[in-house]
Amino acid sequence: MPDCAKRLDAIEPFRVMAILARARALEAEGRDIIHLEVGEPDFATPAPIVEAGIAALKAGQTHYTPALGLPELRQAIARYYGGRYGIDLAAERIAVTPGASGGLLLAMAALFDPADEILLADPGYPCNRHFARVVEARARTIAVGPDTGYQLTAELVASQWGPRTRGVLLANPGNPTGSVIEADTLRAIHAVVREKGGWLLVDEIYHELIYDRPEPTAVGLGDDVIVINSFSKYFLMTGWRLGWLVLPPALVPAIDKLAQNLFLAAPTVAQHAALAALAPATRPLLEARKMELRARRDYLLPALRRLGFEVAAKPAGAFYIYADCSRFDGDSERFAERLLLEAGVAITPGTDFGGLSGRGYVRFAYTVDLPRLREAIARMEAWLR
């Protein structure tokens, strides 16, 4: 067989997928496994969204939409920023994408040439650096810790900016830490990136899953910022594969032609369903799910700390707790494997989220209900004793 592309060596599989496969194999043997490894809410898509999808199918909505999405959905997303954040946004600046994944690929392909460098935080979502590699740009990860809330700062961006740096990709809130970049820091980073003449990209896919405080969005910073968002998490539409970009007006034609070529369009039924996701009547259902996630966090965080996991700060968003497990085992992959095999609790080793710090950390996803979380804590308590 001929050789494959060299980039494959730089793109790692998710270790969590091996954990998941192992967990499923144990379940097939009759073991009961608690799944705290999967980055997907356990909730089904709320009924009004599903019903809108069914209605669209019944109405024969099975053809392609325009490459940038249904005009009424682009308008609804623009209005969402108006209603929720008081930001006046032209619908033309919205590109509807096949998941946030599709949006990230479009943005990377439109902005970065080979060997262009993009700064990212480590720990971080691994796909983000892999998208850079697919277009032969280079992600440079910067180790961040509890002192900066596991996020980049303006000072870090300024000091790490190199001759080949062309942009910064933030995630707000971040995965695996759930940590939030506050509005002041966002503004300061934006100012540095603008001064350097680079691109600022902000992944806000967990954006509405910020608890107890306002959600600082980068959309209001200026029309030179690229924001990536998704219907997957807060709107509970993972399997529908739908996201969006908020774009600088001058980028829209470039993204349009790339989307025509790379995707044709996002799934039509998902776009019609998403109109219901943004409808006011659906919001209380989504908020109730969010409150349930918050209650899980508020149970799990002190419980993990009581067991001896160190968590620097209360995670403000997403549905993850990134915990230092080095007191038990300095090798998080071994720790996660033993916890699965011996206690039946599946978690993700921190090495999925970066090479710099992940060895001593694990990620708990609170994507099971409170009774199962309590059972997980009980199992871990007995096992760690």
Q: Given the complex with a copy of itself, which of 148 and 160 has the nearer CB atom?
A: 160
Please classify residue 358 by burial: count the beta carbons closer than 10 Å to its beta carbon, then call 0-12 exposed, 13-18 middle and 19+ buried.
Answer: buried
Q: Given the complex with a copy of itself, which of 230 and 325 has the nearer CB atom?
A: 230
Report, in Å, the least distance between residue 10 CB and a copy of itself: 11
Binding to a copy of itself in span 202-221, by CB under 8 A:
none
**Residue 330, token pair as written in the block:** 């300095």
Q: Which range, of 8-16, 76-84, 296-304, 325-333, touches a copy of itself by CB under 8 A?
A: 8-16
Report, in Å, the least distance between residue 308 CB and a copy of itself: 32
Cis bond before residue 114 (omega within 30° of 0): no
* Pairwise CA distance, residues 272 & 265, whole Å: 13
Q: Given the complex with a copy of itself, which of 258 and 278 has the nearer CB atom?
A: 258
One residue of 22, 26, 27, 40 binding a copy of itself per CB under 8 A: 40
Binding to a copy of itself in span 156-195, by CB under 8 A:
166-167
Report, in Å, the least distance between residue 175 CB and a copy of itself: 13
* Pairwise CA distance, residues 344 & 23, whole Å: 8
Q: Given the complex with a copy of itself, which of 200 and 301 has the nearer CB atom?
A: 200
Q: Given the complex with a copy of itself, which of 14 and 383 has the nearer CB atom?
A: 14
Q: Given the complex with a copy of itself, which of 98 and 178 has the nearer CB atom?
A: 98
Report, in Å, the least distance between residue 22 CB and a copy of itself: 14
* Under rule CB under 8 A, residue 26 binds a copy of itself: no
Distance of CA 253 to the CA centre of its chain: 26
Binding to a copy of itself in span 335-354, by CB under 8 A:
none
**DSSP-H helix ranges across 6-120:** 7-10, 15-28, 47-58, 71-85, 99-111
Report, in Å, the least distance between residue 131 CB and a copy of itself: 7
Report, in Å, the least distance between residue 138 CB and a copy of itself: 12
Q: Given the complex with a copy of itself, which of 64 and 288 has the nearer CB atom?
A: 64
Q: Given the complex with a copy of itself, which of 8 and 378 has the nearer CB atom?
A: 8
Q: Are 97 and 106 in contact (CB under 8 A)?
A: yes
One residue of 64, 145, 284, 384 binding a copy of itself per CB under 8 A: 64
* Pairwise CA distance, residues 381 & 303, whole Å: 10
Report, in Å, the least distance between residue 381 CB and a copy of itself: 30
**Residue 372, token pair as written in the block:** 């199962």
Q: Which of 213, 186, 216, 215 is nearest to 201 (CA)?
A: 186
**Residue 328, token pair as written in the block:** 């038990």
Binding to a copy of itself in span 218-277, by CB under 8 A:
224, 236-241, 248, 250-251, 253-254, 256-258, 260-270
Crossing angle of helices 370-384 and 283-307, rounded to 10°: 10
Report, in Å, the least distance between residue 249 CB and a copy of itself: 10
Q: Are 117 and 165 in contact (CB under 8 A)?
A: yes
How many chain residues are in contact with a copy of itself, going by CB under 8 A? Answer: 77
Q: Given the complex with a copy of itself, which of 5 and 143 has the nearer CB atom?
A: 5
The 110-149 site mask, x for binding a copy of itself (CB under 8 A), equals xxxxx-x---------xx--xx--xxx-------------
* Pairwise CA distance, residues 127 & 133, whole Å: 10
Q: Which of 258, 259, 228 is nearest to 244 (CA)?
A: 228
Q: In what order do the strands lie in the sheet with 243-246?
A: 94-97, 243-246, 226-230, 199-203, 165-171, 117-122, 138-143
Report, in Å, the least distance between residue 269 CB and a copy of itself: 6
**Residue 282, token pair as written in the block:** 């659906």
Cis bond before residue 176 (omega within 30° of 0): yes
Binding to a copy of itself in span 86-115, by CB under 8 A:
98-99, 101-102, 105, 109-114
Angle at 173 between CA 95 and CA 223, to 5 degrees: 40
